[in-house]
Amino acid sequence: MSTPDLPEPVRDLLAAISETLSLPDPGGDRMDLARYETCVSERIHLVQLLIRDVLDGKTVNGLEWETAYLRQQNEARPPRYRTAEQYLADLRRIAGSGEGQ
């Protein structure tokens, strides 16, 4: 399958949207899941605002600026939950140290 010929600013914007919505899976407890869901909701909201502005022609500073702004917002709001990988590492550490006994 070939990729369509997209202008570079559009391709970069789509890549930023994909990066925004790609989050690691949460750990196995309720707090991790709640924090994950909050992070997902915030990121979906950012993407929805961006798409709305693009479709309404309100990208006054251009697609490149919107793309950079989206990435900046992602960096300012990193995931604040324990990932599944971190959760499993914690379980292995606890099991190995005998803390859970």
Query: If you average pLDDT over residues 86-93, what whole number do you get?
Result: 93
Q: What is the pLDDT of residue 4?
A: 74
CA 83 to chain CA centroid, Å, is 13
pLDDT in tens, 44-85: 999 999 999 999 999 989 999 999 999 999 999 999 999 999
- Is 52 domain-assigned? yes
Write the secondary structure of 37-79 as one string of H (helix), E (strand) and C (coil). Answer: HHHHHHHHHHHHHHHHHHHCCCCCCCHHHHHHHHHHHHHHCCC
> Total domain count for the chain?
1
- In which domain, by residue range, is 67 found? 9-95
- Is 3 domain-assigned? no
